Chains A and B, each alone.
Chain A
């Protein structure tokens, strides 16, 4: 450490106001990508869909009638990974305690959550779209002649955003990474499949994966959009309420 503690009292030009919302969104994107776990999740989400597509098509002896189903189903694998990206963006900060720094720099918690939501939605959409495009490429190589499923790619991008937002909302609501991850995956991979066995009609009407598939196929549009909107809204409202109430210890 230097003996003369502070250098010449040269003024440090700091911004006179808080960062703009777009700047905060950019910061949140950088935060998500500034750790190995964040980069690994993004890479896994982007590569899981084309890998699954390659394995599935290579092991299937029948010709596919359409690219929509395979692109959406493999894209949902990426969307499931993006749940974790959303959880880490909010609950991760509470778990590590770095939420303290976040709220010292921007005390308006609703604004922080808005920035995080926009950041994970943008990241989720971009990564899911990349995954869907890559899996479409794999499909084009292994099953030449199938028309490009542009609508499916678009819907997978929406699904990526929605799943990342749901993860962010649940993470903000629980403020605990292991708890939030367990909760979202138990719900999506445990409760909903079980419900599909015992109450298939109910499961079909609330399952976000089913809503994504129907949206891509052009059926039950209003219900599909409603299901995805309700999942997103419930998670984000719960996250906003709990975030506002919780003291930073």
Chain B
């Protein structure tokens, strides 16, 4: 579990993270969304104790990260796949981490196989592609099978198969009771992976909730054999009606049940009736536009 309260970071007079609070529960995958410079990475680095906060606290399993007895065994992190010594082999890199964590050396081969780097494990990291470095970083984060995972832009450099694999990995981790915080610019990737979204813009959390509620209906799209008659009936019922695309109608603030009831009462033949759902990109840009 991660509990962040009033986390703030200022550089000089510039506030890059402003009073950010959230709690991540076990069994969930949370997406951390925001444009470049919104404060995602700085927030994650403060959670991991790499950047000292100006104010606020970040607790992992009830303690600040630096106060955990063996922090890498509690929070598996992937913050920067390039932050490795290029002159070491992938296997040596993982063995050093395994020894620091106190996990058996055999686990190194397990995670190398898991991320499909077994054959490349003996090569120096400078020869790895971005996607391979990303998978090596994921392998390092998984070495101790920590209950909490925090990945910053993990899909960078991964091919479509790799992205799909990572999505399964994170969902599977949450299904086993783990907690996952995942930041990404790949909105589609987040949409299909997370249970909950934290949207950050200008250093502040601008939206926090389940994906379904953030993408949820803010009206109903309806079409009928006689659109004009249906429009008059809906207006007479006190609903706000506007022309929609494809010749249908958009009824703002209504539910499908309300619109269906009006149509049934008037004997209107409906050819379409569905809740309006905003795309994640619409939500993202409307919330972070400021």
Residues of A participating in the B interface, judged by any CB pair closer than 8 Å: 1-2, 5-7, 9, 11-19, 23-24, 27, 30-31, 34-37, 92-93, 96-101, 103-108, 247-249
CB distance from B94 to the nearest CB of A (A): 11
B169 within 8 A of A: yes
B285 within 8 A of A: no
Q: Is the beta-carbon distance between A34 and B92 smaller than 8 angstroms? A: yes
- Cβ of B116: which chain A residues have Cβ within 8 Å of it? 1-2
- Cβ of B99: which chain A residues have Cβ within 8 Å of it? 19, 23, 27, 30
Q: Is the beta-carbon distance between B176 and A34 smaller than 8 angstroms? A: no
Q: Is the beta-carbon distance between A30 and B96 smaller than 8 angstroms? A: yes
Q: Is the beta-carbon distance between A18 and B69 smaller than 8 angstroms? A: yes
Bound form: Cα–Cα A108–B72 in Å: 13
B77 within 8 A of A: yes
Bound form: Cα–Cα A134–B155 in Å: 53
CB distance from B124 to the nearest CB of A (A): 9
B48 within 8 A of A: yes
Bound form: Cα–Cα A104–B135 in Å: 18
Q: Is the beta-carbon distance between A98 and B83 smaller than 8 angstroms? A: yes
Q: Which of B66, B79, B99 has the most CB of A within 10 A?
A: B99
Q: Which parts of B54-85 form the interface with A (CB within 8 Å)?
A: 65-66, 69-73, 77, 79-80, 82-85
> CB within 8 A of A15: which of B73, B135, B168, B169?
B73
Q: Is the beta-carbon distance between A5 and B88 smaller than 8 angstroms? A: no
Q: Is the beta-carbon distance between B66 and A6 smaller than 8 angstroms? A: no
Chain B 132-151, CB within 8 Å of chain A: the 1/0 string? Answer: 00010000100111000000
Q: Is the beta-carbon distance between A6 and B70 smaller than 8 angstroms? A: no
B187 within 8 A of A: no
Given that A2-B116, A30-B96, A247-B50 are known contacts, is A14 also in contact with B103, CB under 8 Å in the complex?
yes
Chain B 271-287, CB within 8 Å of chain A: the 1/0 string? Answer: 00000000000000000
Bound form: Cα–Cα A82–B86 in Å: 22
B226 within 8 A of A: no
CB distance from B33 to the nearest CB of A (A): 21
Bound form: Cα–Cα A208–B2 in Å: 50
Other A-B contacts than A19-B100, A108-B66, A249-B51, 5 sampled, CB-CB below 8 A, are A2-B114, A14-B102, A27-B100, A34-B92, A98-B85
Q: Is the beta-carbon distance between A248 and B96 smaller than 8 angstroms? A: no
Chain B 85-110, CB within 8 Å of chain A: the 1/0 string? Answer: 11110001000110111111001001
Q: Is the beta-carbon distance between B88 and A34 smaller than 8 angstroms? A: yes
What is the interface size of chain B, counting residues whose CB is below 8 A from a CB of the partner?
51
B113 within 8 A of A: yes
List the 5 closest pairs (A to B, CB-CB), nearest first: A15-B102, A97-B83, A107-B66, A35-B87, A14-B73
CB distance from A73 to the nearest CB of B (A): 32
B22 within 8 A of A: no
> CB within 8 A of A104: which of B69, B71, B86, B161?
B71
Q: Which of A93, A103, A107, A108 has the most CB of B within 10 A?
A: A107
Q: Is the beta-carbon distance between B161 and A1 smaller than 8 angstroms? A: yes
Bound form: Cα–Cα A23–B101 in Å: 11
B26 within 8 A of A: no
Q: Is the beta-carbon distance between B77 and A19 smaller than 8 angstroms? A: no
- Cβ of A7: which chain B residues have Cβ within 8 Å of it? 110, 114
25 contacts between A and B (CB under 8 A): A1-B116, A1-B135, A1-B165, A2-B116, A6-B172, A7-B114, A12-B145, A15-B73, A16-B70, A17-B70, A19-B100, A27-B99, A34-B85, A34-B88, A35-B88, A97-B82, A97-B83, A98-B83, A100-B79, A101-B83, A101-B97, A104-B49, A107-B66, A247-B45, A249-B51
CB distance from A242 to the nearest CB of B (A): 14
> CB within 8 A of B69: which of A17, A30, A35?
A17
Bound form: Cα–Cα A24–B97 in Å: 11
- Cβ of B143: which chain A residues have Cβ within 8 Å of it? 12
Bound form: Cα–Cα A14–B70 in Å: 9
CB distance from B12 to the nearest CB of A (A): 13
- Cβ of B107: which chain A residues have Cβ within 8 Å of it? 12
Q: Which of B48, B50, B84, B140 has the most CB of A within 10 A?
A: B50
- Cβ of A97: which chain B residues have Cβ within 8 Å of it? 80, 82-84
> CB within 8 A of A6: which of B49, B65, B73, B173?
B173
Q: Is the beta-carbon distance between A12 and B86 smaller than 8 angstroms? A: no
B157 within 8 A of A: no
B52 within 8 A of A: yes
- Cβ of A92: which chain B residues have Cβ within 8 Å of it? 85
Whose C-beta in chain A lies nearest to the C-beta of B65? A107
Bound form: Cα–Cα A7–B110 in Å: 9
CB distance from A102 to the nearest CB of B (A): 8
- Cβ of B252: which chain A residues have Cβ within 8 Å of it? none
Whose C-beta in chain A lies nearest to the C-beta of B11? A247
Bound form: Cα–Cα A98–B110 in Å: 23
CB distance from B106 to the nearest CB of A (A): 10
Whose C-beta in chain A lies nearest to the C-beta of B113? A2
B162 within 8 A of A: yes
B215 within 8 A of A: no
